């Protein structure tokens, strides 16, 4: 079997490696700052754990390899402007928007999108970074350094946020996990829960939307679609051409997790419909210290990313999976974590099936 190189050596790369190991696949995440000559072979495969990257010695070697799967898709989706254009072209619902140009005015934003408008930087924004609210009531103006660099989006008064993770093979075969319900606090994902019976009614609509996109891009591997649910409608907020944080629960809750599915797809291995186990939840560890007492909590699985702990930084996650809902509730009661975790824990409890 050939080697699978991953552009990027963060937690997603590490989890791809973990998933590839039992399949006998040598998965090698590459630090983008690495300066060594990589021993790339002609029949190796290259993928990425991030949608954009600076040009470095390492990324240049990887991005010029003939087998870099989805290479042309990354710049299309990494730029919010071209991503929105793709959605519009395919007639997929998304929050109303316009590009912020050199001569764009806040008044135009209020006139066309309403009194609250969210500007998002075209590139590099993640976890709520790269956002700027324009509020008519406060007479906000567009700062000069946002002109030509951002899109402006209508504020969506959504009922809840859901995401869909799907996988597509080279032959166009597609499989999807059940929709995941997500809680973001200040733009950053804190908790997920899946599967939920009450979301079943949106599943086929979501699959059709993401499937259309993956087909149009001739995409191979795992892609995630984050949506706002507004009544019966799903509006696409964001697409990620890679494994995604809202799919981490599949490590505990599915016989084939998102990381294995991505490895299988890009390596041209068979895909199957995943078996979903029991009830899963995921809690991101954001700016909190490692606490091995968590391991005494039944149903819990710890993933610690070996990063320095800093406020607002994702340093790990906890997966929970069991068929016993009382065990999940007890687990949540035992998670003694600082603000804003009590909010996330209450949210999980409120959304667990009765």
Interface with ligand AMP (CB under 6 A), residue from 71, 81, 90, 155: 155
Judged by CB under 6 A, does residue 184 bind ligand AMP? Answer: yes
Q: Does 288 bind ligand AMP (CB under 6 A)?
A: no
- The residue within the footprint of ligand AMP, chosen from 49, 238, 260, 301 (CB under 6 A), is 238
Stretches 43-51, 154-162, 215-223, 278-286: which one binds ligand AMP (CB under 6 A)? Answer: 154-162
Asked if 161 is part of the footprint of ligand AMP (rule: CB under 6 A), the reply reads yes
Rounded to the nearest whole angstrom, what is the least distance from the CB of residue 222 to ligand AMP in the complex? Answer: 17
User: Does 51 engage in binding with ligand AMP (CB under 6 A)?
Assistant: no
Q: Which stretch binds ligand AMP (CB under 6 A): 23-31, 149-157, 256-264, 288-296?
A: 149-157
Residues contacting ligand AMP: total by CB under 6 A: 15
| Footprint of ligand AMP on 75-104 (CB under 6 A) | 95
Count the Cβ atoms, other than its own, within 10 Å of residue 66: 11
Does 187 bind ligand AMP (CB under 6 A)? Our answer is yes
Which residue from 237, 251, 261, 280 is in contact with ligand AMP, where contact means CB under 6 A? 237
118 binds ligand AMP, rule: CB under 6 A? yes
287 part of the interface to ligand AMP, by CB under 6 A: no
Interface residues with ligand AMP (CB under 6 A) are 95, 118, 120, 125, 128, 153-156, 161, 184, 187, 226, 237-238
């Amino acid at each position: 079997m050939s080697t699978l190189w991953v552009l990027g050596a963060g937690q997603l790369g590490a989890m791809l490696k973990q998933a590839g190991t039992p399949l006998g696949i040598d998965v090698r995440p590459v630090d983008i700052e690495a300066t060594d000559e990589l021993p790339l072979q002609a029949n190796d495969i290259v993928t990425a754990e991030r949608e954009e990257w600076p040009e470095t010695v390492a990324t240049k070697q990887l991005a010029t390899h003939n087998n870099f799967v989805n290479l042309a898709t990354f710049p299309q989706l990494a730029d919010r402007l071209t991503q929105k254009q793709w959605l519009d072209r395919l007639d997929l619902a998304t929050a109303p928007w316009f590009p912020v140009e050199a001569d764009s005015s806040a008044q135009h934003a209020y006139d066309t999108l309403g009194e609250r408008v969210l500007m998002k930087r075209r590139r590099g924004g993640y976890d709520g970074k790269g956002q700027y609210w324009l509020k008519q009531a406060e007479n906000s103006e567009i700062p000069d350094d946002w002109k030509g660099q951002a899109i402006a989006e209508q504020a969506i008064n959504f009922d809840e946020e859901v995401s869909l993770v799907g996988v597509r093979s080279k032959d166009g075969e597609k499989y999807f996990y059940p929709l995941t319900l997500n809680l973001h606090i200040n733009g950053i994902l804190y908790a997920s829960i899946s599967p939920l019976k009450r979301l079943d009614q949106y599943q086929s609509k979501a699959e059709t939307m993401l499937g259309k996109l993956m087909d149009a891009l001739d995409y191979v591997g795992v892609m995630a679609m984050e949506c706002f649910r507004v009544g019966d409608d799903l509006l696409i907020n964001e697409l990620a051409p890679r494994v995604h944080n809202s799919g981490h629960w599949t490590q505990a809750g599915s016989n084939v997790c998102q990381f294995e599915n991505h490895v299988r797809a890009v390596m041209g291995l068979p895909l199957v419909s995943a078996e979903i186990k029991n009830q899963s939840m995921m809690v991101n560890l954001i700016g909190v210290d490692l606490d091995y007492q968590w391991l005494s909590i039944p149903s819990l699985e710890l993933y610690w990313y070996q990063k320095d702990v800093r406020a607002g930084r994702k340093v790990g996650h906890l997966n929970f999976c069991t068929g016993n809902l009382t065990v999940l509730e007890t687990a949540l009661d035992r998670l003694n974590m600082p603000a804003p975790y009590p909010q996330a824990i209450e949210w999980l409890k409120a959304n667990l099936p009765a």
